[in-house]
Structure 1
Amino acid sequence: MSIKDKVKGNPVLKKFVHWLLIPTGEARPRLWVKWFVNPILHKKGRGATIKWRTRIDVLPFNKFNMGKNAVIEDFSTINNGVGDVIIGDDTLIGMSNVLIGPVTIGNNVIFAQNIVASGLNHEYSDVNVPISKQKIVVSPIVVEDDCWIAANSVITSGVTIGKHSVVAGGAVVTKNVPPYSVVAGNPAKVIKKYDFEAQQWVKV
């Protein structure tokens, strides 16, 4: 049995290790984790850049990987506390984005500004228990290669956005987006698809 499995299987030990990594009631790791552990465990491709005014709440027990020449702009928040965050090559995470894992973003993707992509949900089924005390549910978000996610969009947990698709500004994406599609609205719906025979985008 691995050390990780031993820690997970022992509630007391798990709570202690969690306290060592993260102050009680907070999401961001302790400075010693940020300075000495994360740089060793998490992968950052050549030319990848994280701007100074970002909040990188990443922990050693889940992945945080950036591909080559990927950029995370100022005022963004990245959190891998409940799932991996993977960012592909030549991908831009624009200003003031929030990514909460599990989230996988492909290569050559543009995230504009003020986008929220969260693979995390809070359970709320028991009305006798505060929502904050109920369990957390996770379902991975996948954004495939060559997509453009426009400003102020929301991508909810469990959604896959297909290759070379566009999410219009302000859209709330609650269902999978087919490859080579444009979606808009709340909830987002397909408004265009690329017709390979006509070689143009066609309204639907």
Structure 2
Amino acid sequence: MLQPNLIAVEACPIGDGLHIRPTPRVPAGRGGLDFVDRERGGPVLDSGRAASVRHTFFIERFMSLTIFDKGENNVIDVDPRDQDNQAGKIYINGDNNYIRIGRGCISDKDMHIVIESNGRFDVGDDVRLSMANIYVGPGSVLRIGDRTGFTGLVHLNPVETKAIEIGSDCSIASGVWMTTSDFHSIISRTGGTRLNPAKSVRVGNHVWIANHATLLKGSVIGDNAIIGAHAVVTGTVPPHCVAAGNPARIVREDVTWRSDLI
């Protein structure tokens, strides 16, 4: 059942083109609905004329946050009361996705998110997405817990039907990369099987990941852990530990951290 602040987007053929018919669940006067001509790239200013334009798609605008929904049966849950703090672009290329951005979230104009089909993009409350660069592949999942913050350009790539899950109260610095795949197959010459399958990445609660660290497929970071700058993580970092280096290794145990200087 749709909640009052959800947007359901429905596609229906008209003539030889495609007209996207939105079913808004937002209060009147909050957020704008535009149509854009896919071939010309320009706006179609009223939905009546949109019916005669070939290959149009629906855009939902929350101030400078723009969501390009090109698919069907996508559920978008973005509260328009937060529109003054949100910017950037979200491109939904496929169908049957669930997209939620919780209350109090902040994003910059350079945020760039692409979501394919059958995915889940679930962001909790009071999250700072900053200028995140995110690609959610088909059947893949990204979850970010409450009060987690990015401090610059962070790259997140859940693909191959795997998940990147980030807990609550995390601090993730600029230049961090997380991916569930090597993006190329390594093949056994004798058996012909793939040797590097995709694996999910999981980050616990209250984790600090410093500048330009990389979390490769299969990385698991425990609660209250710290990942040093430029570290390359390929396995498990236990809770309350500091990991640094390439490949990352445990350099200190029994620690925690806080964002202020004492």
TM over 0.5: yes
Q: Report whether the alignment pairs 1:186 with 2:246.
A: yes
CA distance in 2, matches of 1:159, 1:140: 7
Q: Report whether the alignment pairs 1:39 with 2:76.
A: yes
Q: Give the superposed CA RMSD.
A: 2.6
Instruction: Give the alignment partner of residue 139 of structure 1, picking from 199, 209, 230.
Output: 199
Q: Is the 8 A contact 2:123 2:143 kept in 1?
A: yes
Q: Is the 8 A contact 1:79 1:85 kept in 2?
A: no
Matches within 5 A, 1:43-82: 43-74=100-131, 76-82=132-138
Q: Is the 8 A contact 1:167 1:182 kept in 2?
A: yes
Q: Which has the higher contact order (CA 8 A, sep 6+)?
A: 1
CA distance in 1, matches of 2:196, 2:219: 17
Matches within 5 A, 1:106-185: 106-121=167-182, 122-125=184-187, 137-185=197-245
Deviation, 1:47, is 0.6
Q: Is the 8 A contact 1:65 1:86 kept in 2?
A: yes
Partner-residue secondary structure (3-state), 1:35? strand
Task: Give the TM-score normalised by the residue count of structure 2.
Answer: 0.56
One-letter code of the match for 2:76?
P
Percent same amino acid among aligned pairs? 23
Partner-residue secondary structure (3-state), 1:169? coil
Q: Is the 8 A contact 2:153 2:176 kept in 1?
A: yes
Q: Report whether the alignment pairs 1:105 with 2:166.
A: yes
Change (3 A) 1:148 1:195: closer
Larger Rg: 2
User: Which structure 1 segments of 5+ residues have no match?
Assistant: 1-29, 128-133, 197-204
One-letter code of the match for 1:99?
L
Q: Deviations over 1:3-55 (max 9, x none)?
A: xxxxxxxxxxxxxxxxxxxxxxxxxxx96484344625311111112222111
Is the strand fraction higher in 1 or 2? Answer: 2
One-letter code of the match for 1:158?
G
One-letter code of the match for 1:35?
F
CA distance in 2, matches of 1:126, 1:31: 44
Q: Deviations over 1:108-145 (max 9, x none)?
A: 00110101100122212167xxxxxx999421000000
Deviation, 1:184, is 0.5
CA distance in 1, matches of 2:125, 2:112: 20
User: Which structure 2 segments of 5+ residues have no match?
Assistant: 1-55, 60-66, 78-97, 257-262
One-letter code of the match for 2:68?
W
Partner-residue secondary structure (3-state), 1:138? coil
CA distance in 2, matches of 1:124, 1:162: 29
